[in-house]
Chains A and B, each alone.
Chain A
Amino acid sequence: MAKRIDVSGLSAYYGAHKAIDDISMTVEPRSVTAFIGPSGCGKSTFLRTLNRMHEVTPGGRVEGKVLLDDENLYGSAVDPVAVRRTVGMVFQRPNPFPTMSIFDNVAAGLRLNGKFKKSELADVVEKSLKGANLWNEVKDRLNKPGSGLSGGQQQRLCIARAIAVEPDVLLMDEPCSALDPISTLAIEDLIGELKERFTIVIVTHNMQQAARVSDRTAFFNLSAVGQPGKLIEIDETERIFSNPSVQATEDYISGRFG
């Protein structure tokens, strides 16, 4: 069940340092939205505000509203743990649990939440691994440690782990930046399939990747180092890459940045 995200007036802080300033945007369901922009402009920070992972960082603080199909994630009665079950996340560096087997890694979300039936677990694991295009490569060694896989396989394992809990939204923070081109392609294909079921937000430093996988693209920038990052514009990917409405976007995309 993919959901729409509506952000309005969102700012995030690290202690006294304001990392992003007054961001408003809409993320459409069943689509891929790409975040691009220079390093340090707050893409990761913004992404982490969308599943309340930002406040896990010491000193992390958020102002503003994030509506997930009309429910404010930052409402006073909202449980961040429940939010994170609805909005899953894949990190830049593959981080499978080192003490767990491949099977246990995928099952981790269900097991750790304590709500599963033993008989269903194997089905969920198989379905998730198939969903992450990893099943054929690992079906004969499900009981081997997850850290024994290659980097690209580990990242797909992490995606399988994230989709096993059936989230509505999947956030990906530069999921391919530590991977070789072939693994990258595998994950890009996967993103294309996953958007049928999930709302996907992906941060990427790779323009071609943004152009290839995303339906809409948001460009972030910051006026100077140490200043908070801002959303410059968000539009159909095609428009952003052919005819953006802001000059800074065009400069960044064509490499005439700074």
Chain B
Amino acid sequence: MSHVAVSDARPAAPAPHKGSLSARSLPRWAGAGFAVVSIALAVGIGLVFGLQSKVQWGLIAALLFILVSYAVTTAVENKRQAKDRVATSLVWVCFILAVIPLASLLWTTISRGTKVLNGYFLSHSMAGVPGFETGGGVYHALIGTLEQVGLATLISAPLGLLAAVYLVEYGKGALAKAVTFFVDVMTGIPSIVAGLFILTLMLMFDLGPSGFMGSLALAILMLPVVVRSTEEMLKLVPNELREAALALGVPKWRMILKVVLPTAIGGITTGVMLAIARIAGETAPIMLLVFGNQLINTNPFQGAQSSLPFYIWEQYRVGSDAAYDRAWAAALVLIAFVMILNLVARGIARWKAPKTGR
């Protein structure tokens, strides 16, 4: 099959030069051309041999793409260029393989989620709506997620920041090693374990479920991420800046506050936002500690609340079409929430980044 491709692409090559440093080369759109040719071939093969699965079509296309690239480039240019092009093609194929699941996830969520997503859905709870009927909304879960995640951030962002400052600027010896070790261990804690830990405390002190209990578990999950990312960002601050500040007769704590942290603040914010994004989708601790609720409860310190991931799980479990639609719409809201956080983080990182303006 690749012969066809060869004769297809050959006329595109310019006339060869002799005795100069320039050699015959493929036009710049050759890569795209190969892709089109191999996809067409793959579709042809698929139809002729009656292959059902689109996955097979795709794999054949990918394989053909690499073969065609190699064969044509060897024929027109040379072996070295051909190897180069195969490497490039492989990277492209891998990139597309990686993007497909992401794109399809996003597509599914958007196409199924927009069905019931509207102002009413965002501003109403499930009060008085039986699970299998249409109607109801996500407001109570949105409030729950915002409050729980917000409280968790209020707890773990300052703690994590201070711990990272300690590790980078002051920490040496046994205590620093111990802190680093425990942060590493905490990174690996499954969310359900964090939930169980707080549940034990809850039972011990005879407390009821509340959004705040969930926040505590989320804070445990968030803390190591914040410490690690902040630590990396602080390490990126050049030592010269610290010395410059100290040599001006600035006390160390002021140097950290006014020079080191402002220099790293963009990266630190990004790290915190990513940590928030990570915990926004946690379901297990919410089930254990916040219990879920059909009604609006704006007080995170008293009584059960809902949250977006919990709501999705709850709705999907109901199993009716109306509930499925609500679950997907809530999933879309959750993804949008995380997406907005990411965009905000990028904005802050760009705005706060040290300016070069040369």
Contacts and interface: CB of A to CB of B under 8 A. Distances in A.
Interface stretch (A62-70, A93-101, A204-212): A93-101
A45 interface: no
Contacts of A83: 249
Contacts of B355: 98-99, 145, 147-148
A130 interface: no
Contact of A81 (B238, B242, B243, B251): B251
A146 B260 CA distance: 16
A88 B356 contact: no
A200 interface: no
Contacts of A51: 247
A112 B354 contact: no
Given A98-B354, A147-B357, A88 B172 contact: no
Interface in B245-290: 245-251, 254-255, 258-259, 262-263
Nearest to B172: A58
A84 interface: yes
A78 B352 CA distance: 37
Interface in B336-352: 352
A17 B315 CA distance: 68
Residue of A98, A144, A147, A165 with most chain B CB atoms under a 10 A cut-off? A98
Interface string A89-128: 1010101011100000000110111100000000000000
Interface in A18-65: 51, 53, 56, 58
Interface in B137-175: 172
B241 interface: yes
A112 B247 contact: no
A112 B263 contact: no
Interface in A159-187: 161-162, 165
A128 to B, nearest CB: 12
B237 to A, nearest CB: 9
Interface in B215-260: 238, 240-251, 254-255, 258-259
Given A144-B357, A147-B354, A147-B356, A113 B238 contact: no
Interface string A122-148: 000000000000000000000011011
The secondary structure that dominates the B interface is helix
Given A99-B354, A112-B255, A53 B246 contact: yes
Contacts of B18: none
A56 B251 CA distance: 12
Contacts of A84: 246-250
A73 B258 CA distance: 26
A116 B310 CA distance: 55
Residue of B248, B356, B357 with most chain A CB atoms under a 10 A cut-off? B248
B244 A113 contact: no
Contacts of A81: 249-251
Given A53-B243, A93-B240, A98 B263 contact: yes
Nearest to A58: B172
Contacts of B240: 91, 93, 95
A89 B357 contact: no
Contacts of B258: 108, 111-112
A88 B249 CA distance: 8
A158 interface: yes
A95 B241 CA distance: 6
Given A53-B243, A93-B240, A109 B250 contact: yes
A84 B357 CA distance: 31
B227 to A, nearest CB: 21
A82 interface: yes
B238 A112 contact: no
A145 B356 CA distance: 7
B3 interface: no
A95 B244 contact: yes
Contacts of A147: 354-358
A230 interface: no
A131 B159 CA distance: 44
A109 B249 contact: yes
Nearest to B356: A147
Across the A-B interface, the 8 shortest Cβ-Cβ residue pairs: A85-B249, A98-B354, A145-B355, A89-B247, A109-B248, A84-B249, A95-B240, A148-B357
Interface of A: 51, 53, 56, 58, 81-86, 88-89, 91, 93, 95, 97-99, 108-109, 111-114, 144-145, 147-148, 158, 161-162, 165
14 contacts: A56-B246, A97-B244, A97-B245, A97-B263, A98-B354, A99-B262, A109-B249, A112-B250, A112-B258, A113-B250, A145-B354, A148-B355, A148-B356, A161-B244
Given A84-B246, A113-B250, A147-B354, 9 more contacts: A56-B242, A81-B250, A88-B248, A99-B355, A108-B258, A112-B245, A112-B255, A112-B258, A147-B355
